Structure formats: structure tokens, C-alpha cells
Structure 1
Amino acid sequence: MDAFSKCRLSPDIEALVASGHYPFYLPVEERLDDGEVVVDGRRVLMAGSNDYLALSNDPRVKAAGIDALRRLGAGNSGSRALNGTLELHRTLEAELAAFLGHEAAMVVSTGYQANLALSPLFGPRDLLLADRYIHASLIESARLGQAELRRYRHNDVAQLGRLLEGADPEAGRLILTEGMFSVTGDLADLPAITGLAARHGARVILDSAHDAGLLGAGGRGAAEHHGARVDVQTVTFSKCFGTIGGAVAGPRRVIDYLRHCARSALFSASLPAACTAAELAALGVVRAEPERRRRVLAAAESLRSGLAALGLPVAPGFAPTVPLVVGDPELCCRLWSELLREGVLANAMLPPSVPEGRALIRLSVTAAHTQAAVARLLDAVATAAERLGLVPAAVGGGRC
């Protein structure tokens, strides 16, 4: 049997490609300052970006990256453990640890690798309790570890409590969750989770990919927003910080242990100087300009209230990501295509990224989106949804 015989697209994906509504791998030709991008020679509103604070195109962030590129080159040609550590990495780690309120931090090359680096913490005598909606990178990290993995229903702290009650008293207990969930946009109930952890001697590990830089009085993320304390925190630089890379922050002894045991950090080339310097500059902007957070959260509120006025099902919340659940994958991709026709680039999320029967369009806003841009987005949604019979004609037509 040919080992490559498995390499074929599923019938569903083949049908999507043939339909002309294939929503993936669409090339962007240019990114513009006002929340727009150029696709196929046409300016469209970007409504699928995770660049929540609009820092990826900030002149200060770009200038820092360009200067580091000129001084230190395009790459470091080695792992952090050997020849790939820059003084910039050490500076960024100290700044991140102080910002997040932890003793130490370890910078790695992507947010995915930061989550994979957690796997040595999941030992053979441990019980790992994870929210069912955690990111794929956290699932892979759990699989790489040796702990017993048990998943609790999304944000169901009552079930989490029962799992902790029934745990082997000799087992190490860890709770793994995201701070702000990347698809649904809702927050983990960190006060309840950390309360349970304190009662049962469990450690809490928080993936702050989508909330660090955005939530809390100082932008430190969901833990600060809730006034909760977590043991270990991962962040990615590809969301609020506008570049790429990631980090794990926590107690110094934990970070030192991961430096020597986390294979995704040990055996991977280090974060290039340009990205490291850009992240340092972005962190400075996050600290100095809280109005960016206020701006994007206000845009998110306008988007939610506008979608609700159209009669579309919108979950409560205030995150910049708003899911529009369509259900059927084909219909979801048709809606994505109609939105693009109306000048809006959004994200189509299909199983297995979301549960079966929960295909959705993920809309997101950034600090670059003015109220006029949000109104334009809502008009596009109204027109596209009406065209597909997802909203009454009177409601959709009233906005266009």
C-alpha cells in the first residue's frame, strides 16, 4: 500500500473548492493602515484579523523591527540553548515577566510553540483537567505530556469541581484553560476556577493568546480583568502585539525547568531579532496607550448590538471576536463568499475547528476600525445574510 494514498481531500472540501466558496488560503496582497487589505486588486474591510490593537502596521513597531534587522540580521541560526540567544530576548523576557506579574518568562518562536513547551509539566502521575474548547496547540501539548487528560464541558465549573473532587489525592492536579476563547470570544470563569484550584491544591495554567494586551486595567489579560492569580501563563505575540512569537511566564523554577526540558524551545531556532524588537516596541505601546483597548472594545460593542438589531443570534460579551453561528458548513461558506462580494473579509470556521453543526463566521474588529467601518461591516452582513435568507428582508434591506 502506498503510504501517500491517504493524501486526498475530503469530499466536503473538494465540493467547497468546486463551488467557488472555498474560504481558506486567500492571499492578501497589501495591508493598509485603516483596517483594510487588498485582495485580488480590490480594497476590502478586514474583519477576520487578530491584530486587535492594530499594532502590526504601527510605524514605531515596524521601525524597531527594521532597526534590529539591520543590526542583527534576518535570523539567529541556532536554538536559544546554544548560539541563538540575543540580549534582546533577555530584555523582552524581563519586560514580559514584569508586565504579566510573574517571576520569569521564556520567549519562543511562536505562540503554538509556547503551548507545546508546557508538555513537560504534564507528568505521568498528574491529572490534567482541560476546558473542552482549548486551542489545538494545547491539545497537542496535552498529548505530548504523560498526564491523564480529562476534558470538562466548556466553562462548566461545576463539572470541573466534580472532577477535582474525584481525583486521586496522590496525583498532581493541573487545570488548563484559555483566558478568552479564540472562536467564541467568551471568557473563562477564572474566579471560580482559581477558587477550586485553591481548595484542591491544583495549579492553573492559562493561555492568554487572545486576552493579553487587551483585557484588564493594565492590559495584562483575563487574569487581571478578573482579579485572579494563575500559576503559569502563555502568550502569543501574533494577536495584540502585532508580530509573531510567544512566551511562557510563571515561577522562576518552572521557567528554568522548561528551558531545559521543553523540546519545542530546545530544538527550534530562536525568535529573529526583528520580531523580538517589534514585540518590545508593541509592549511599550500597550502600556502607554490604553485608549487602544477602549477603542476596540467600543467597536466590538457596536458590532454586537448591530448584529442583534438585525435579528442574528449573538452571544453576550465584549470581546472583539463575535461568532455568527450558521450551522451548516456549506451555507457558512456561502455567507463568507457573499461577505467578500460585499467588500468584507471574515473567517469561516468549520468542523473540526468547531463542533459538528456549529459552523460559523467569526467576525473581529480592531482598534483601526472606526464607527463608520463598523457600520460598513454591519451593512455587508445585512445584505449578505438577507441574500441567503438568514434575516428577514425588511431587516436586511433597512440597513442597505
Structure 2
Amino acid sequence: MIWMENELKLMADASLERSLHISSPVSGSPGYTLRGEQVLLNLSSNDYLGLSQHPAILEVMREALLTEGAGSGASRHVTGNRASYSRLEEALADWQNCEAALVLANGYMANSGVISALVGRGDVVFSDQLNHASIVDGIVLSRAEHARYRHNDMEHLRTLLDKYRDKRRKLIVTDAVFSMDGDQAPLRELAALKREYGAMLMMDEAHSGGIYGGRGEGLSHELGLQDDVDIHMGTFSKSFGVYGAYICGSRMLIRWLVNKARPLIYSTALPPSIVAGITKALVLVQEEHWRRERLCAASRLFRSLLCDAGFNIGAGDSPIVPLIVGDNDLALRFSRALEEEGILAVAIRPPTVPDGTARIRFSLSAVHSDKELTHAAVRIHNIGLRLGVLRS
């Protein structure tokens, strides 16, 4: 197996090798994390609404753990489908104003399972080139043709739709908010093209659910386009602060997935305690509007501070703020310098992002105060000057 050592050396030489680090929450200090003995301002978490430590969620999870046990014991098709699943799915369908919903173990399994259940040989999937890896892998598993269009380029998508117009089934799939860039998909144009070409439209709301919409339903609801989306996908591991994923759509879609989505059929059901936590988080996401308002204000402030400092942070208004540096090694050095200054912000490198676009990916939370973000921006600015990312 010497080839592994050789390949890992090449990765290390290119500043592309990854390693695992232990992080722990800091009791009484939301928005911070502990690495080793150092307390760091956590600007790398997807806990957008700050719900992962919410006492009410923890309490219902504790109760379910004590009454229903640690695990579900089987797949949902066998004996793992507790009554709490049905209640949650009914609540999700009501929240999304859809006919039905389906809960799966995580976002990766949801995307890979749903896409491979909807299309196959003889079909085509039109996918934004910056879509999440789970979408890409779902297309590969499906064996459908993969037609990648340039990021948010609707003219390129139209060209591909024309090219493949005679395919049996056509599926357009996109992130609503892109996880590494923080910008939005052009949903109005996508909806119009979906209608024009008779395609299905699938929207991944993983990084927009809980943040956009009057009750946190997601970007498609924020824009009033929810009825144009055939498959609504989202996760519970980000804004909800728990774990898992959902699909919402028509009753027929959910019936189909129950019978065809292999990750659902062949996986053990989520533990009852997780389902209880999700159910409580769904209530809080809808009721505690101040969390969305605070996150929006924090995002505006932090983006303006970095933009005024001269950093390249791309477009968007989401809590995902990419600071583009380009070089892999420079991104790593920037991340290490931030950690020395008490800030956790991870360097993102290829293949997660395209070559030459390595970055620091800042990810904000409703629990971050203006003071914390302003002080962080000063330190980020100073590091940018010191490393030559900015010119004085």
C-alpha cells in the first residue's frame, strides 16, 4: 500500500492534506469553541441560529433518550419507524406548505438517495458546477447523464436544456445558497426554465433553511417560488442545531422515495432522541424570529467590515462569508494566524473549491455580538496586512 504514502506526500506538498482536530463547546459561552486549552471565537460553525445548545432542545432529547432508548434498532421499513417520525413529518409538510415530507439520516444521504431514485440511464441531470458534493455523488450513483452548467449561468443552462431536450426525464438541481461562496441561485430564472422545458426542479436549502422565509422555510419561500420547486431538500444539522435531513413535496413523490430511495431503505432510522430534538427545533425556528433578524444584522455588519478593509468576499447576503486568498498554503497560514489570535476559521481548499480559489470560510451565528465581530474584523485585517493578502 505504498501508493497511499506517495499520494499523501503529494497532497501535503500541495498544502492539500487534511487532518482531524478536536473541538468542544464552551459551557456558558455560545459562539465559542475549545481546541486544546485555547478558547476560540467560533467562526466556522453552521449553527446559524445558535440552537445547538438550546436548553429546551436538550431537555426533550434527554426525555426521549430515557423513555425510548439510545437507538431505533432497525430501518424505518422494519421496526425503526416510531410514531415521533410521523408527527415530525406532518409538522414539516405544514411548515413547507407541501403535501408530505420524509426524514432521512443526513443531507448527504438525502441528496444522493433522492437523485438516484428520480433519474437513471437515459435521463439527464442539470447541475450547477458549485453544487455540494452530495449532489454530484447522487448524480454519479444514478447513472444519468451529468450536464454541469457554469455557476449561476442561465444561458449556459438553456443551451444544455436544448441539447438534451429529448431525454426521458430531466432534473434541474441546485443549492439555494452555495455552501462555500454564500451566494444565491437565480431561482426565478431556474423556475422559468423548468417550466419551459418540462423538467423537475430540486432545491437544496441546507444553508438557507431557517434563515430565509417568514417562518424560516427557506429561500424559495422568501421569493414566493415554493410552488415551482418539485423537491424541497433541507437539513437539521445547521440552522436547526441537531442532525438529519428532510424532503418535502407531493404525496406521490414521498411514496416513490419510500419505495426507491436506497439510503432510506437500507439505513437504520435516526434515534428517537434526535427526532425529538428536531421536532422541538422546528418549533423554535418558526417562533423565535429574533434569531433570523440577529443573524441578518450580524451578516451585514461582518460583510461590510471585511469589504471596507479591502478583502475579496464575493457577493451575497448570507452568513457564509468567503475570504478568497487563492493560494492553498497562504490559506492555511491565514487560518493558523487567526487561531493564534483567538479565532477559529478554517481554510477551505480544492477539491472542495475550484483550483486557485482557496479561502477562509467565515460562518456566522445569531449568538455572535456586534462587539465580537468588530474585534474579529480588526484582527482579520491586521493578519491580512501581515500576510500580504492586503496592501497597506
Residue matched to 1:380 = 379
The question of whether the paired residues in 1 share the 8 Å contact of 2:48 and 2:239 is answered with yes
Residue matched to 1:206 = 203
Indicate yes or no: 2:341 matched with 1:303: no
1:195 to 192, 198, 203: 192
Aligned residue pair count = 387
| Residue 254 (structure 1) shift | 1.3
Structure 1 unaligned runs (5+)?
Answer: 394-400
Amino acid in structure 2 at the alignment position of 1:7: M
The question of whether the paired residues in 2 share the 8 Å contact of 1:23 and 1:333 is answered with no
Superposed counterparts of 1:337-348, under 5 Å? 337-348=336-347
| Residue 321 (structure 1) shift | 0.5
Identity of aligned residues (%): 34
Indicate the larger mover: 118-127 or 81-90.
Answer: 118-127
- CA RMSD after TM alignment: 1.6
| Residue 102 (structure 1) shift | 1.6
Distance change in 2, residues 1:210/1:41 (3 Å): same
1:155 to 138, 141, 152: 152
| Residue 63 (structure 1) shift | 1.0
| Residue 64 (structure 1) shift | 1.3
The question of whether the paired residues in 1 share the 8 Å contact of 2:338 and 2:380 is answered with yes
CA distance in 2, matches of 1:255, 1:125: 23
Residue matched to 1:14 = 12
Per-residue Cα deviation, 1:293-345 (whole angstroms, up to 9, x for no partner): 11111101111100011111122321000001111100100000000000000
CA distance in 2, matches of 1:212, 1:255: 20
Amino acid in structure 1 at the alignment position of 2:12: E
CA distance in 1, matches of 2:164, 2:49: 41
Amino acid in structure 2 at the alignment position of 1:83: T
CA distance in 1, matches of 2:62, 2:223: 37
Superposed counterparts of 1:234-273, under 5 Å? 234-273=233-272
Amino acid in structure 1 at the alignment position of 2:251: R
Amino acid in structure 1 at the alignment position of 2:391: P
Residue matched to 1:397 = none
CA distance in 1, matches of 2:63, 2:3: 46
Structure 2 unaligned runs (5+)?
Answer: none
SS in 1 for 2:273: helix
Distance change in 2, residues 1:14/1:352 (3 Å): same
SS in 2 for 1:117: helix
TM-score normalised over the length of structure 2 = 0.95
Per-residue Cα deviation, 1:246-296 (whole angstroms, up to 9, x for no partner): 111111111111111111111111111111111111110011011101111
Superposed counterparts of 1:1-400, under 5 Å? 4-8=1-5, 9-15=7-13, 24-32=19-27, 33-118=29-114, 119-228=116-225, 229-393=228-392
CA distance in 2, matches of 1:238, 1:211: 12
Distance change in 2, residues 1:312/1:23 (3 Å): farther
Amino acid in structure 1 at the alignment position of 2:8: S
Per-residue Cα deviation, 1:40-73 (whole angstroms, up to 9, x for no partner): 1121100001000000011111111111111111
Distance change in 2, residues 1:170/1:355 (3 Å): closer
